[in-house]
Structure 1
Amino acid sequence: MEIQLYVYDLTNGMARSMSRAYLGIQIDAVYHTALVFNNIEYFFGAGVQTCRPGATHHGRPMEIIPMGTTQLPLDVVLDYLESLKEIYTPESYDLFAHNCNNFTNDFSMFLLGKGIPDHITSLPKRVLDTPFGQMLRPQLDASMRSVTQAPVPSRSMPATHAPVSAAHRASNGVPSPAVNGTSSAHPTPYGKVVAVTSLNALEKHLQNASSTAATIFFTSSTCAPCKLAYPTFDSLAEQHPHALFVKVDINAAHDIASRYQIRATPTFMTFSRGDKRDGWAGADPSLLKSNVESVLRYTFPPHPHTLLAVPTLQYGSLKPVTYGKVPPLDKLIAKLGEVGKDPQLTALKSFVEIRNKDARDATLPDLPAIGSTMQTKALSLPVELRFAAIDLLRCAMIDPRVSGYFAEEQQHPKTIPTLLKHVNELSECPHSLRLVTIYLACNLFTSTLYVKEIAKPDSELATLLGQLITSSLLDVSHPSVRVASAWLAFNLAATNYRVRREEQTEALAEGLQVELAASVIETLGSEDNEEAVKALLLMLGYLVYCAPQDGELLDLCKALDAKAVVSASKGQVKLAKEVQSLL
């Protein structure tokens, strides 16, 4: 996609003519910027906003700058945009510290690996460096609010994008009735009642629904009681979009009434995988709901796990565990020696310091250059000092703008896999380096883009994370390493569980699941750290919860007598009983 930068002057020329008199310096404009691609203009004002290109209340742009081309898919771009919305909220807008140009700069860094022109992003500082700029700051910010945060007129709104499936955004809860641990909400061809007026059309619909459940509502335009069942029937069709719900007005479809020998309305029939299951007459909404749910359970037998009481897993938090605590950065940089003076690491340190005070004030540094520095200078340090550079990156990765960029990093090799591979391949990895690398890996989960990356078939990243976990759980000398790697394992298992529940597939390859489960079960047998036990039990619980009944994972758990191992685990008695019931 071609990316353009639209540049506007919020003062319509007044800044150029009056700035020297009021501020003592010459400025050409008070800039407002937006990025335009795919025939939509994106900008920050009253939150992240969109419009047709050039259709805002700011009028025509004073300049249009071609920024370059991005190869990123649109769904990835829109997912990243969602993460920006967490930082660029309507309440966070500040004309000088957190404005449209900061947003455009961050978005451009992700799309193209570079920011917008410096003379635009540096303007607020130039103004605030003048005595009058500081004095007038509150008045200028307040006076511009009505301009910078105005709503987009309805006539200027762009055509909406198709909904983007975001991996793993829904809150957790009880899975739907399932087949082999997957939700029965298969790709949804229906979702509403289908009205049929001919026998040929009905038979075609039933043939297409031969692998699911179907319910036919025989009604007539003159049937008053039928109207009592309409709302329930429509609601059931919406609740179960994988099943077919057909409404037939027999006054307009005599051939159907004859074929199915309908003598009165309302009459209902249910079918399971093409075969008739039940039939009844009468407008009883409760009976209709009960019989529909019965045929759905018959067609899609629930996974045995859905019948168990495991409230910790059903209602517990699936929020990933991350590590955002910032250490004394001056001491951290000092450990790097001359490498710590590298301008990219200095910029990264400054970003972390500012972000730790207020994320709104933290402008993204040159992330492509930082990635290159991490892969070269950081990894050329003595092995006992490398942890300091990794830890600095870890502090920045808590920000979804940073983690999102590195998830879709365009340079090869990518920074994060390179760092993980480096640690995995060290024959003797220092404790400090291993620990901060695990923390860094946990912080990948701040971006949904990394979750998508992990869920890709044959994901190298998922394999590298699995290797890091299994080797780290063997560290008998350092409980902190085992605790962190257990939480990283939980993050992976929770991700897999979300995908299993919401998309009816597995995010992690079966072989990786088996490898992780074997490592966790082995560690549980001897682990006495209570936090590690909790994380390991949660990880194993989500890994096996509604897992395919005929898969290798549950077979492995039986072979290793995981039930006995979990039962003998120390502490977390209630959680252990829940996980034990799944085995």
Structure 2
Amino acid sequence: MTTPVKLYIYDLSNGLAQQLSVQLTGRQIEGIWHTSVVVFDKEIFYGQGISVTQPGKSHHGAPLRIVDVGETAIDEETFTEYLNAMREQYTADKYHLLDFNCNSFTNDCIGFLTGGSIPDYIKSLPTDFLSTPFGQALRPTIDSMFGGRTPPGLPTPPPDLRTATSASPDPALAASLLQAVAAQAASNGAASSSSPPGYLPTPALTSPPTPFQAAPLTAPMNVSTNPASFHSLLRTNRAVVAFFTSATCGPCRMIEPVFEDLARNNSRADGGVAFTKIDLAVGMGGAVATEYGVRVTPTFIFFKDGVKIHELKGVNGPELRTQVDLLIYDAFPPHPHTAISLPAIESVSLEPILFKQVPNLDTMFAKLTGSIDGVSSWTGPVTKAQVKQTLSKTVLPFLKASTATPSSPQQPSVPFDHWPALASNIASNLGLSELFPLVDIWRLALLNAKFAAWNTTKKGSESPIKMLLAKAIRPDNIPRNYLLTVLRMMSNAFSNQILARELILSTRSDVTSLLVTTLWHDDATVRMSAASLAFNIAAHLQKRRVDKVKARDDSTDPEEDADWEVEMISAIIEAVKLENGSEDIVHRLTACLALLLRVSPFMEQLTPLLEILQSRSILKGKLEKGGCGEAGVAKKEVRNLILEVAEKLCP
């Protein structure tokens, strides 16, 4: 006789994550998932301890999704005994929004009941969030909310969420959303008055629950209480470190902080590295210990691809750290270029190249309004008079204030929501030769942090940046001034990391088409601007790649694309080959090539390409007479960079 097991899935953000995640984090997050397990006509979940209620009757309301996760042959009495033992592990003070939460508990229960696990998209959500700049900035605050070790009897003050969420384009919105999710996640609501016999009741809450409390468990940690959940952990992670412990083991408490520190610094997304504690007296932890011959605590067992490769007994912190490093190195060998000394490349600043020159704004706007006046039959939802009034009364004052010196009065607060319609209306009525002042308006405005953040919220046809970019890649001849200002506008978009990521993901094809044509343009100023944009893209990717290498993270990044990198590197090498006049252009192109190659995940494809393109000889040729100017590249730092890229990164 078997019993069905279901997973109830709730969104703690009530749909706000799906609507606002790109705006706040730069990444689409479908929901902030809370899960519970439903079996034997009861819904069981973890927050302020373990709670039991009738299905769908918790304070979370009706589930967003219900997933059949299989059937169990375990009887209700056995599961009740298991849950009562689990209460010693899943206590209110151990709850952590990212590291030890309702989903940790549900995954453990489903492992016990069915041998399976919760869906990967739920398990990987914390890592997806923490991989964003916003998530990285917010991590310390979340830890302080759920992991503070406040002395007994002293209240833990709530952190300043407005300050902590300043990495978001909308800090106030981010702070309120985080606080709401935290309160929902840590709350159990009132326990069901009809909790079934055999289950320990959850204490009723006399005041709204708060997540600000001391938490003994602060590292990214799995808890395995049965063989099924442990085997699931082995299946879904390349490397696993298992800590066999018990509540009565004094040496275990001595080594536990070292283990937690290792977990905090080395845990990775699902499919990476996992750290788990197995208490021999909790649930079926003893059965896991018996399976691997563990008779004493503390014992550490190291697994690679599900196979035990090493065992360590006793309290030896240095040896534990060494064995963890060896396991991770073996499971995830570092990028081969990390073993090469690259001082010239490492000295390249990853700050974006921005075009901050401010023209005479009155003259620029007069030119634009003059072109508007010259249109005999104006079309569109905004009249010619309205367009001119908005330009003179709103846009021009904003740019003057935004580009003024720091000692000038505070910049006015300007709403931008009508700007897309304004830009679209102007672009549909003017020719490209008359349109570059509009692009220059966007170039200058993107240097304003609020304006750049606002642009992250504009998608598809609502994005003026994408609309203006698309006009620069038409097959017919594009006016020089329009190409130049579009390149500089795109470069300035990299002043905001979230906007940069959005543009790489959504306009990769258009940007590549623009660069392929402009890197070889007859005009040196256009080539310089194109080289700057190419560098900004490479620098943005380099930051993310270095972070992933340091974290030994080989998960797929949607910003990465092997075919795109092949096309970009081919175009850059050809541009270096053709560039004979400007040492600065050669410098930027070489730096771009260096950043793309340094820790590229696609070296298997790129190495033969570099050889076929004769990249080494092309780069070294720039150092010889006539290679770039009469005497070749003269600046010492540029020569060093070219030599380093040619000799150490090119075959």
Corresponding residue number in structure 2 for 1:75: 21
Letter in 1 for 2:274: L
**Aligned counterpart, 2:313:** 281
Of the candidates 481, 492, 499, which is equivalent to residue 537 of structure 2?
492
Once the 2 structures are TM-superposed, how far is the Cα of residue 496 of structure 1 from its aligned partner?
Answer: 2.9
Q: CA deviation at 1:268?
A: 2.8
1:563 is aligned to: 616
Q: Which residue does 2:351 correspond to in 1?
A: 319
Deviation at 1:315, TM superposition (A): 6.3
Cα contact 1:206–1:214 (8 A) shared by 2: no
| 2:521 pairs with one of 464, 467, 475 | 475
The amino acid of 1:349's aligned partner reads L
Q: CA RMSD in A?
A: 3.9
User: Does structure 1 conserve the Cα–Cα contact (< 8 Å) formed by 2:302 and 2:308?
Assistant: yes
Between stretches 354-363 and 428-437, larger displacement belongs to: 354-363
Alignment-derived partner of residue 43 in structure 2: none
Alpha-carbon distance in structure 2 between the residues aligned to 1:225 and 1:203: 27
- SS at 2:596 equivalent: helix
Q: Note if 1:355 corresponds to 2:355.
A: no
Give, in whole Å, the separation in 1 of the partners of 2:614 and 2:529: 25
Task: Identify which of 398, 418, 439 aligns with 2:488.
Answer: 439
TM-score, scaled relative to structure 2:
0.56
Closer, same or farther: CA 328–296 of 1 in aligned 2, 3 Å: same
> Once the 2 structures are TM-superposed, how far is the Cα of residue 568 of structure 1 from its aligned partner?
3.4
- Counterpart of 2:566? 514
CA–CA distance in structure 1, aligned partners of residues 315 and 25 of structure 2: 46
The gaps in structure 2 that reach 5 residues or longer are 1-11, 27-132, 135-168, 184-217, 374-387, 549-554, 624-632
- What percent identity do the matched residue pairs reach? 24
Task: Give, in angstroms, the shift of residue 288 of structure 1.
Answer: 0.9
Amino acid at match of 1:204: S
**Equivalents in 1 of 2:289, 2:458: separation in Å?**
61
Corresponding residue number in structure 1 for 2:339: 307
Unpaired stretches in structure 1, ≥5 consecutive residues: 1-37, 41-69, 84-109, 112-150, 164-189
What aligned pairs does 1:340-379 form with structure 2 within 5 A after superposition? 342-346=388-392, 347-357=394-404, 361-363=410-412, 367=416, 369-378=418-427
* Aligned-partner Cα distance in 2 for 1:254–1:158: 38
SS of 2:599's equivalent in the other structure is coil
Post-superposition offset of 1:272: 0.6
Tell me the distance in 1 between the aligned counterparts of 2:178 and 2:247.
41
**SS of the counterpart of 1:192?**
coil
Closer/same/farther in 2, CA of residues 553 and 409 from structure 1, 3 Å limit: same
Alignment of 1:144-543 (within 5 A): 159-161=179-181, 192-196=220-224, 201-202=226-227, 204-210=229-235, 211-219=237-245, 223-242=249-268, 243-249=273-279, 255-262=287-294, 264-311=296-343, 313-314=345-346, 316-336=348-368, 338-339=370-371, 342-346=388-392, 347-357=394-404, 361-363=410-412, 367=416, 369-378=418-427, 380-381=429-430, 383-409=432-458, 412=461, 414-425=463-474, 427-456=476-505, 459=506, 461-476=507-522, 478-500=523-545, 501-502=547-548, 504-528=556-580, 529-543=582-596
Kept after mapping to 1: 8 A contact 2:13/2:181 = no
* Structure 1 counterpart of 2:640: 574
Whole-angstrom CA distance in 1 between matches of 2:475 and 2:293: 76
Shift of 1:269: 2.2
What amino acid is aligned across from residue 240 of structure 1 in structure 2? N
Partner SS state of residue 159, structure 1: helix
After superposition, what is the alpha-carbon deviation per residue over 1:250-307, rounded to whole angstroms, capped at 9, x for unaligned? 5776545544334554433211111121123342211111111101111112221222
**Which amino acid in the other structure matches residue 426 of structure 2?**
K
Partners of 2:603 and 2:485 in 1: how far apart? 38
CA distance in 2, matches of 1:490, 1:157: 36
Contact 2:597–2:603 (Cα < 8 Å) also in 1: no
- The normalised TM-score by structure 1 is 0.62
Q: How many residues align?
A: 417
Task: Quote the Cα distance in structure 1 between the aligned partners of 2:542 and 2:601.
Answer: 12
Contact 2:23 2:457 in 1 (8 A): no
